[in-house]
Chain A
Amino acid sequence: MLQKIIRRALATVVVLIGVSIIAFLLVRLAPGDPAKLMLPDTATEETIQAMREKMGTDKPLFIQYLTYMKNVLKGDLGTSYHYNRSCSQLIFSRLPSTAKLAGFGMLLSLCFSIPLGMIAGIKKGSFIDTLSMFFAMIGQSMSHVWLGLMLILIFAVNLKWLPSMGTGTFKHMIMPAIVIGFQFSALATRMVRSGMIDVLQEDYITATRAKGISKFKVYTKYAFKNALLPVVTVVGSQVGAMMSGSMVIETVFSWPGIGSLTTQAIYNRDYQLIQSILLISATIFVVCNLLVDILYTFIDPRISFN
């Protein structure tokens, strides 16, 4: 077991090195001389040359990468030229805000999709089942931007129940959390439903029913746990989807997280910050997937890393 976990962790390290190469090359792909970008247009050739040497862009690409990695491992991701602050500081000051939103969104969608998926699975072919499948389809087909704007139109503009943007109170969090969790709830409903259908055909469920245990208890105590297992596997991949979604959602709702920081970095052409966000986001995503995989082998001993 431990050996497998170590092997899986090593594979993660390889992936992270690959991601760091992509993030590193990304900035080098940017048109123009990075040294010129840091200086005003009036800078002389000597000043630019001095800046190149200071930034290390006059050295071979491979050496530049090694220097970059050395700094990254020391926790230095470079300086955002727009904010004139260290990228890591900027990112980590915004991270809790996004994590709170994503966490709340995930919780909301689980509270909604688990009961819905269970009922749909138990009453296969019923009206609720059709409804849940339709919801799952819609969830995969709706754009984050549009869903967010429609919620604003209904709950902020017309009903005036919720604030349309900003942060501070719990009310501010409801709409963005619904949007960020929407896709996941569609997926989770689908998985709980099919998990439930599979589990209910198992012999041990028939056996518990034969023993005279009530239907309700069978569903909630025995079937539920096993139907929930597949959902755990997608939680990891959903972290990535939520990161992607957060860019758009935080922009729509003016939520001060990583997503809106990314959007601003793009508007400002703040390449160093874009690079750092890419690296940090990918690291979080990969580590979450690793943790989910490890967790899964503990929850379900039948599964191995192979």
Chain B
Amino acid sequence: MNSRTLFRRIRKSSFFLIGIITVLIIVTLAIISPMIVAHDAYIGDLELRLKEPEGFAGGWEGYILGCDPLGRDVLTRVLIGSRASMLIALTVVGITLVTGTILGLISGYYGGLVDMCLMRLCDILMATPGLLLAVCVVAVLGSNFVNLIIVLSITGWVRYARLVRGNVLAIRNSEYIQASRVLGAGNAHIILTQVLPNITTPLIIQASQQFGNVILIEAGMSFLGVGVPISTPSWGGMISAGREYIATAPWVVIAPGVALMITVLAFNFLGDGLRDVLDPKNKN
């Protein structure tokens, strides 16, 4: 695919454009949030307890989205809270993408006993409802960032491994791979230079969709009290803390929920958009 085709497809895919622009804005905000927030995300002023949103009446220094039960500015916490979600999602997607791809390559390329064992392991991990397993493991091991990332990674690599394995099986015996082998290429060379480049597209799409998923699972776990530690601002934790005040101070819950939805939506749009743009079967 040349760059002109790519550009034409990007221009035509509104999903991709909306997705990539929103994702870039969100990621930028998450990175620069400590520099731009007007208030302290951790220590509140109890006199401002459950203060109603005042919009832009007080400017950037005001309480645009109101205050939470501890008198902390909601907008500040939403902005700072994005960092926890982003950090966890990025780490988990990174770890699972790499391990899943390696295991999938091994499984698909070599086949045999290794393949069988790995695929049965996938079956077993797929057989336990994702959030349930994650919650149970963290409940037993204790909840902190590291355990959270480990647990989400343990269940997350399976999809990549299956995806990669399926694609490897489909191209393993194709002519160009056989040609490489005849020319004396080793397994590692074939995997890295022939097989891997051919499966990057489905991997990128999968990664983008998993990103949104991890954020949702993390929020669910934080709500149940087994996710991000309460001391760290996180969207799930904020929703959980504001739950009791839903009737009197709904803004405490609405703001992090909207942020969560827009973020996940953006990554899902990006995933769908990437499919339109990169999928070679999708010729115009």
Residues of A that sit less than 8 Å from B by CB:
11, 14-16, 18-19, 22, 26-27, 29-31, 137-138, 140-146, 149-150, 152-153, 157, 240-241, 243-245, 247-248, 251-252, 262-263, 265-267, 269, 271, 274-275, 277-278, 281-282, 285-286, 289
**Could you tell me the distance between the alpha carbons of A252 and B239 in the complex, rounded to whole angstroms?**
11
Q: Would you mind naming 11 contact pairs between A and B with Cβ atoms under 8 Å apart?
A: A15-B123, A18-B123, A141-B268, A142-B264, A145-B219, A145-B240, A240-B130, A243-B129, A262-B136, A266-B225, A285-B129
From B128, B247, B261, A143 is in contact (CB under 8 Å) with B261
**Could you tell me the distance between the alpha carbons of A286 and B253 in the complex, rounded to whole angstroms?**
36
**Min C-beta distance of B161 to chain A, whole Å:** 16
Number of B residues with CB within 8 Å of any CB on chain A:
43
From B74-82, B139-147, B167-175, give the one contacting chain A: B139-147
The prevalent SS among residues of A at the interface is helix
Across-interface contacts of A248 in B (CB, < 8 A) = 131, 220, 223-224
Across-interface contacts of B127 in A (CB, < 8 A) = 15-16, 18-19, 282, 285-286, 289
B132 sits at the interface (CB 8 A): yes
Whether B224 contacts A266 by the Cβ 8 Å rule is yes
What string of 1s and 0s marks CB contacts (under 8 Å) between B242-268 and chain A? 010011001001100100110011001
Across-interface contacts of A286 in B (CB, < 8 A) = 127
Given A14-B120, A22-B124, A138 and B130 contact (CB-CB distance below 8 Å): no
B137 sits at the interface (CB 8 A): yes
B88 sits at the interface (CB 8 A): no
Given A141-B265, A145-B220, A29 and B141 contact (CB-CB distance below 8 Å): yes
From B124, B132, B225, B250, A262 is in contact (CB under 8 Å) with B132
Whether A149 contacts B246 by the Cβ 8 Å rule is yes
Having A18-B124, A19-B124, A240-B128, one finds 10 other A-B pairs with CB under 8 Å, namely A143-B216, A143-B264, A149-B257, A152-B246, A243-B132, A252-B243, A265-B139, A266-B225, A282-B129, A285-B127
From A30, A153, A251, B246 is in contact (CB under 8 Å) with A153
What string of 1s and 0s marks CB contacts (under 8 Å) between B52-65 and chain A? 00000000000000
Across-interface contacts of B120 in A (CB, < 8 A) = 14-15, 18
**Could you tell me the distance between the alpha carbons of A251 and B239 in the complex, rounded to whole angstroms?**
13
From A145, A150, A241, B223 is in contact (CB under 8 Å) with A145
B212 sits at the interface (CB 8 A): yes
Across-interface contacts of B260 in A (CB, < 8 A) = 143, 146
Across-interface contacts of B243 in A (CB, < 8 A) = 145, 149, 252
B236 sits at the interface (CB 8 A): yes
Whether A247 contacts B261 by the Cβ 8 Å rule is no
Residues of B that sit less than 8 Å from A by CB:
120-121, 123-124, 127-133, 135-137, 139-142, 212, 216, 219-220, 223-226, 236, 239-240, 243, 246-247, 250, 253-254, 257, 260-261, 264-265, 268-269, 272
**Min C-beta distance of A141 to chain B, whole Å:** 4
Whether A27 contacts B129 by the Cβ 8 Å rule is no
CB within 8 Å: A-B pair count: 146
Whether A157 contacts B247 by the Cβ 8 Å rule is yes
From A263, A271, A289, B140 is in contact (CB under 8 Å) with A271
Across-interface contacts of B212 in A (CB, < 8 A) = 140-141
Whether A240 contacts B129 by the Cβ 8 Å rule is yes
Given A145-B223, A149-B246, A281-B129, A11 and B124 contact (CB-CB distance below 8 Å): no
**Could you tell me the distance between the alpha carbons of A266 and B136 in the complex, rounded to whole angstroms?**
7
Name B267's closest neighbour in chain A (CB-CB): A141
Across-interface contacts of A271 in B (CB, < 8 A) = 140
**Could you tell me the distance between the alpha carbons of A112 and B140 in the complex, rounded to whole angstroms?**
39
**Could you tell me the distance between the alpha carbons of A153 and B242 in the complex, rounded to whole angstroms?**
12
From A141, A251, A252, A285, B128 is in contact (CB under 8 Å) with A285
Whether B269 contacts A266 by the Cβ 8 Å rule is no
Whether B261 contacts A281 by the Cβ 8 Å rule is no
From A149, A244, A267, B239 is in contact (CB under 8 Å) with A149
Interface centre among B124, B250, B269 (most CB of A within 10 A): B124
Whether B261 contacts A146 by the Cβ 8 Å rule is yes
**Min C-beta distance of A26 to chain B, whole Å:** 6
Across-interface contacts of A27 in B (CB, < 8 A) = 140
Whether A140 contacts B268 by the Cβ 8 Å rule is yes
Across-interface contacts of A145 in B (CB, < 8 A) = 219-220, 223, 236, 239-240, 243, 257
